[in-house]
Chain A
Amino acid sequence: KNQVEQSPQSLIILEGKNCTLQCNYTVSPFSNLRWYKQDTGRGPVSLTIMTFSENTKSNGRYTATLDADTKQSSLHITASQLSDSASYICVVSPPRGGNKLTFGTGTQLKVEL
């Protein structure tokens, strides 16, 4: 069964610090991998997308990396802000535009003063 596992489950950091979230997947082949941000009480919003041939993609203070050989992705957040407090979800898409995405369970990040 295709799986997406994320670690850590939760994380608390001080404002201004950096952090890295991990995503391991078994979906193969896949067309792309996305990281979503889900604020409390809101729906997820796409942050980054990478195809299987890309290694890194940035979106402001968010940088995602992908290692297709080890089937691992990471999301690095630089100079964290209070507004970064959210759940971050890794999502893998099957090839040929298939509809059945595989969602990770998310990492709950809290940024404190």
Chain B
Amino acid sequence: NAGVTQTPKFRVLKTGQSMTLLCAQDMNHEYMYWYRQDPGMGLRLIHYSVGEGTTAKGEVPDGYNVSRLKKQNFLLGLESAAPSQTSVYFCASAPGQGFAGELFFGEGSRLTVL
């Protein structure tokens, strides 16, 4: 079982470039999330989705957009990358109803913006 798969795993961008991170889960989970993890800081929620076709802002949404066109996929877009967006990005999913706080994380995507 693949679980949560993120692509790409590594990416280097120049300031102003755009890119999309793809998250795919095969557990039929309703909820999906994008977090960023920076040194000395806890995981911070960027955007999340509680079902196909829905998205909502998290704690640090500025500079990011998301889409959930299919239940199994959650895309994170950077329209104009900035050095402050250099980070490790984690996608996570959860079953939905009866959610008890357990998230299933992907392996992470390391993004460097020069």
Contacts and interface: CB of A to CB of B under 8 A. Distances in A.
Contacts of B43: 44, 89, 103
Interface residues of A, number: 23
Interface in B45-74: 45, 48, 50, 56, 58-59
B105 interface: yes
Contacts of B45: 100-101
Given A43-B90, A100-B58, A103-B43, A91 B108 contact: no
A93 B101 contact: yes
Given A34-B102, A101-B103, A42 B42 contact: no
A27 to B, nearest CB: 11
Interface of B: 4, 31, 33, 40-45, 48, 50, 56, 58-59, 90, 92, 97-103, 105-108
